[in-house]
């Protein structure tokens, strides 16, 4: 695996911010709650590790997938 560059790190950070903001909007929850849900999710681990190229997908699609596949995080 290649060493991540500063650009990669910034891209992932921006993606995570977009995911958290969009999740808060879609689920009508506070940003803090959205952040908590995101960082407990499998999605966050996949993005952090760069698995499956998932970090290249649209944040809106990632949020919809998170809501569907990890619904237990919202209880």
pLDDT digit string, tens, across residues 22-39: 999 999 999 999 999 999
Per the prediction, the chain carries an average pLDDT of: 93
Average pLDDT of the segment spanning 57-65: 97
Sort residue 53 into left (φ over 0), alpha (ψ -120 to 50) or beta.
left
CA-based max dimension of the chain: 38
pLDDT of 10 strictly over 60: yes
pLDDT of residue 47: 94
């Amino acid at each position: 695996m290649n060493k991540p560059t500063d650009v990669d790190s910034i891209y992932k950070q921006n993606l995570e911010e977009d995911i958290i903001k969009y999740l808060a909007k879609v689920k009508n929850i506070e940003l803090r709650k959205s952040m908590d849900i995101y960082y407990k999710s499998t999605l966050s681990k996949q993005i952090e590790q760069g698995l499956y190229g998932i970090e290249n997908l649209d944040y809106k699609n990632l949020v919809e997938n998170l809501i569907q596949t990890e619904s237990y995080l919202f209880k």
